[in-house]
Amino acid sequence: MKAKTFEQQILAWLARPGYRPLKQHELARALGVTERVIFRRTLYALERAGRIVCLRKNRYALPPPAKEKLRGAAAEAPRSAIIVGRLMRNPYYWYVMPDQARRRAHNVRVREFAATIKPVDGHIVVLRLDEAPHAEEQPVGVVIEDLGRAETPGVDMLRIIRRREFATDFPLAARSQAAHTTVPPAPALRADGRRDLRDWTTFTIDPDDAKDFDDALSLTALPDGRWQLGVHIADVSHYVTPDSPIDREARERGNTIYLVDRAITMLPPNLTADICSLLPQQDRLTHSAMLTFDRHHRVESVETFPAVIHSAARLTYGQVELLFEGHHIDKIPSVVREPLLQLRPLAREWRKRRLQHGALDLAVPEVKCIMDAHGYITAIKQRGDAEAYQMIEECMLLANVAVAERLRAGGGPALYRIHDEPDAEQWDEMREALRALGAPMIPATPDDLNKLLHRVAGTPLAATLNLIVVRCLKRAMYSAELRPHFGLAFPRYTHFTSPIRRYPDLVVHRLLKAVEQSAPPPYTKSALARLATHCSTAEKAADEAENESVEVKRVAYYEEKLRRGDIGPFAGVVTGLLGKGLMVELRDSLQRGLLPFAALKNDYYEMNAARTHVKGKRRGGGWKIGQPLEVVLTRVDTANRWMDFALP
C-alpha cells in the first residue's frame, strides 16, 4: 500500500466521530495494516508535519482545532521555552530563525535584547520565548545569549546544549561543598572500618581520553584452580551524601553527558577527575565486590564492602590490546602483566557462557570524531570492539549481577536495570525490516536472533542489521520493580559500576551499604520509582544529545571535504530503497545519504514488491539492499544533516 494511501486512511480514522486515541499497534490493527514499516514512517511524518499529535502513553489523535492552537514555536513551548537559532533582521525588526526542526518554519520576533548583547546579523543566539501568543500573533521573545558565529569551533555543541537546556555550571552551594571535599587521611580510613587493600595489585583500564576512572580490578589465584576477582568501584557515596547540594544537582542531571568535544559532568570537576576518581599511585576510597570462582570458573561466593585501594597503573584499552597481541608495553608495570594475561581467558569463558545462556551478541558500530587543537574535526574512526574492552565489560557485568542479587536477598526496596522483551508489534516490525534488508534468515525467537547476528558478522549487512535489531528493541531502563534484562539474559541486574557518571549507581551504592550494615533502607520504593523514571528520561536525553553531536560534526567533516574538492570515491553499502533513490551508508564513518535514481543515468529503475531491490527497465541491471558500492559526494545539507551521492 502506498504511503499516500496510509496518510489518507490515518487522517480519516482519527477524524471519525467518537474516536478514542489509539496506540500505534492498535491503530495499525484497526486499519488492517500489513506493511508496518511504511505505516510507521507515514505516522511519524504526519506527526512531524503537525497534522497529528502523539499524546500521553503514545496514543495518536488529530491536533485541537485552530482556534485552540498556538502558532509556530509557541505551539509546543511552555511559558519560558528556550529557542536557539540564527539572528536575522528585515527592514522592520530583528527575528530568530529556530534550529528546532518543528519550529524551523516559524520565525520568532525579538522583543528586546539582554543588556550585554549587541545584535549581530547571522550570529547564533539563545532566545527566551514570551508567554504563548494567540493564534493570530507572531511568537515573540527576548535574546538572552549570543553564542557567536555558527562557524566558530564549539558553537555547534553549544547549540545542542542550550536547546536541550542542559546545565553546565554548578550552583554556588555545590561548588562550595566540592571545594571543601578532600580524601580522608589513612588513620580516618582505618577508624571508618574500611578494608585496607592498598597492598593489593589493582589497576584501571579505560579509553585513551578518559578523565574519570570509576572502576579498578584485581585478580588473585586461589588453591585448587579457584580465582578471586575484585571489582573496586569509586565510593562516591562517601563524599556525596543524600540531599546535599552536590547530591541535589547530581540527581537533577542524572548522568554525565559526553558530547564530541566536551563532557557535561554529573559531579563537580574536582570530584569527577580527582577525589572520587581511582587515579594511579593515589589512595582512593572504593566500594568493592569480591567474587570467588570455583575451578569451573563459576561464581562460588560474593562479598561486598567499603575499602581503600592504591591503583598500580592507569592503562588504556589500546595498551592492553597490544599486550594481548604479544607486544612488550613499557607503560604496563610487570606486576600488572600477569593478572591481565590470567584474566583474559577467564573473561573469554564468562562471555561465551553468557552468550550460550541467551544474551544478545549485538555489535552496534560507533564512530569517534577526531578533533584538532582548534576544535575542528580532522578524521572519523570506527570504535573497534577490542578484546580488552570485552574483558572489562564481563567483569562489570559480573559485579552488577552480584550486587543485584545482594539487594534482592536483602529484602528491601532496590533500583534495578531492566530490559523488557520486544512486544508482538516490535517483533513484527523487526522481521519486516529484516526481510526488506534481505537478511539470510528471519528470527522467530531470541535464539534465532543470535543465530542471525552470528551469521551476518563480518558481512556488508552486519552494521545495518545490528542497527535494525537495536531500533526494534525496547530501551533498557531503571525500575523499582524487579524484572529480567532481555538483552543480557539476566533475571536480575542493576547498575553499580559507574557512580561518578550515573546517578542510579550512586543510589545503588547507598542501598548496598544499608544492606551490608543491616540498616533501614535510605529510600522508599515509591521514591525509587520516581528516581527510576527521572533517570531513565535523563539517560535518553543524554543519548540523543551525544548522537546529535556526532551527527553535527560528521556532516561538518564532509562539508569541508566537499568545499576542498575531496569528493571521494568512498566505500559504502546500500541500506535501503526509497522512491527517490538508494539509501547508502559509508563504511568508515557510518554517514548516510541518498544516491538519487536521477544520478543513475541511462536507465529507469523499478522497485520489487518487497522493496529489497530495484531493476533497470532498459539494461536489466539493478541494486539490492546490502550491495557494496563506491560513491562520490555531490551535496551536503548541514541543516538536515544529509548528503547526496553519485556514482564515480
The answer to whether residue 350 is domain-embedded is yes
* Residue that finishes a domain, picked among 45, 63, 81: 63
Asked, for residue 157, whether it belongs to a domain, the answer is: no
Highest mean pLDDT among 103-112, 283-292, 468-477, 598-607: 283-292
- For residue 48, give the amino acid letter: R
Per-residue DSSP letter, 255 = B
- Is 559 part of a structural domain of the chain? no
Same domain, 595 and 634: yes
Give the lowest-confidence range in 283-287, 578-582, 606-610.
Answer: 606-610
What is d(CA 366, CA 589) in angstroms, rounded to the nearest whole number? 9
* Shared domain check, 188 and 121: no
Cα(511)–Cα(499) distance, rounded to whole angstroms?
13
Residue closest to 127 by CA, chosen among 100, 153, 91: 100
Mean pLDDT of 163-187: 91
Closest CA to 339 of 225, 223, 226, 220: 220
Element containing residue 12 per DSSP (H, E):
helix 3-14
Per DSSP (E only), the strands in 14-123 are 22-23, 53-54, 59-61, 82-89, 94-98, 108-113
pLDDT of 636 reads: 92
pLDDT at 75: 37
Q: What is the dihedral of CA 548, 553, 558, 562, to 10 degrees?
A: 120
612/2 Cα distance (integer angstroms):
16
**pLDDT of 67 over the 50 cut:** no
pLDDT at residue 144 in the model: 94
pLDDT at 127: 94
pTM for the whole structure: 0.84
Residues 304, 365 share a domain: yes
Residue 200 main-chain phi, psi, to 5 deg: -80, 150
Pick the last residue of a domain from 36, 63, 90.
Answer: 63
Length of the chain: 648
Residues 197 and 294 in one domain: yes
Task: Report the pLDDT value the prediction gives residue 69, as an integer from 0 to 100.
Answer: 39
Strand locations in 492-604, DSSP E? Answer: 570-577, 581-586, 592-596
* pLDDT of amino acid 512: 98
Helices marked H in 51-163? 155-163
pLDDT at 72: 36
User: What is the arithmetic mean of pLDDT over 185-213?
Assistant: 86
pLDDT score of 3 more than 70: no
CA distances from 23 to 1, 41, 51, 566 (A): 21, 15, 16, 47
d(CA 59, CA 600) in angstroms, rounded, equals 41
221: which 3 cell numbers?
589465584
pLDDT at 362 > cutoff 60: yes
79 burial type by CB count under 10 A (0-12 exposed, 13-18 middle, 19+ buried): exposed
What are the backbone angles phi and psi of residue 284, rounded to the nearest 5°? -140, 145
Q: Residue 644: name the closest of 576, 571, 575, 562 by CA.
A: 562
For the residues 211-216, what does the mean pLDDT come to?
A: 93
Distance (Å, whole) CA 227 – CA 164: 47
Task: Output the CA torsion 273→274→280→286 (10° steps).
Answer: -100
Rounded CA-CA distance 25/429 in Å is 10
Average pLDDT over residues 604-629: 74
The domain total for the chain is 4
Q: Are 59 and 79 members of one domain?
A: no
**512 shares a domain with 375:** yes
Contact 244, 177 (CB under 8 A): yes
- The answer to whether residue 456 sits within a structural domain is no
Residues paired with residue 289 on neighbouring β-strands, in sequence order: 231, 304
**Element of type H or E holding 453:** helix 446-456
What number of other Cβ atoms are within 10 A of residue 27's Cβ? 19
* Maximum separation of any 2 CA atoms in the chain, in Å: 86
Cα atoms in the 13 Å half-sphere on the side-chain side of 505: 23
CATH of residue 8? 1.10.10.10
Tell the residue number behind the cell numbers 529489497, with chain if given: 612
Confidence of residue 451 (pLDDT cuts 50, 70, 90): confident
pLDDT 10s digits, 549-596:
999 999 999 999 999 999 889 999 888 777 788 888 898 888 989 988
Residues 205 and 75 in one domain: no
Give residue 611's pLDDT band: very low, low, confident or very high (50, 70, 90). low
Q: CA-to-CA distance for 224 and 235, rounded, in angstroms?
A: 33
Reply yes or no on whether the pLDDT at 50 is more than 70. no
Mean pLDDT of all residues in 444-471 = 83
* Omega cis (within 30) before 269: no
The pLDDT of residue 439 is: 81
The set of cell numbers assigned to 379 is 578524521
What range defines the domain where residue 100 resides? 68-150
pLDDT on residue 101: 54
- For the cut 60, the answer to whether the pLDDT of residue 136 exceeds it is no
Q: 186: closest CA among 311, 310, 17, 46? A: 310
Mean pLDDT of 419-436: 85
The three three-digit cell numbers of residue 588, written as one number: 568508515
Exposure class string for 110-136: b at 16+ Cβ within 10 A, else e: beebeeebeeeeebbbbbbbbebbeee
142 shares its domain with 100: yes
pLDDT beyond 60 at 4: no
Specify the pLDDT at position 66: 42
Q: Do 54 and 80 fall within a single domain?
A: no
**Do 250 and 376 share a domain, yes or no?**
yes
The answer to whether the beta carbons of residues 498 and 542 sit under 8 Å apart is no
Phi/psi of residue 574, nearest 5 degrees: -75, 120
d(CA 570, CA 587): 8
Whether residue 259 is found in the same domain as residue 331? yes
Give the CATH number for residue 598: 2.40.50.140
Q: Is residue 336 part of a domain?
A: yes
pLDDT band, very low/low/confident/very high, at 459 (cuts 50, 70, 90)? confident
pLDDT digit string, tens, across residues 468-497: 888 888 899 999 999 999 999 999 999 999
pLDDT exceeds 80 at position 408? yes
Mean pLDDT on 430-445: 81
Whether residue 448 is contained in a domain is answered as no
The CA–CA distances, whole Å, from 89 to 159, 251, 578 equal 20, 41, 38
Cα–Cα distance, 260 to 164 (Å, whole number) = 16
User: Is 627 a residue whose pLDDT tops 60?
Assistant: yes
d(CA 347, CA 359): 15
Residue 557 lies in a domain: no
At 74, the pLDDT band (50, 70, 90 cuts) reads very low
What does the pLDDT average to over 445-474? 83
pLDDT, average across residues 283-300: 96
In the predicted model, what is the mean pLDDT of residues 99-111?
A: 71
Of 63, 82, 112, the domain-final residue: 63
Burial class (CB in 10 A: 0-12, 13-18, 19+), 311: buried
Residue 322 lies in a domain: yes
**pLDDT-based confidence at residue 505 (cuts at 50, 70, 90):** very high
Query: Do 291 and 227 sit in the same domain of this protein?
Result: yes
CA distances from 268 to 380, 501, 541 (A): 30, 11, 20
**pLDDT attached to residue 191:** 63
Q: Give the chain's mean pLDDT.
A: 87
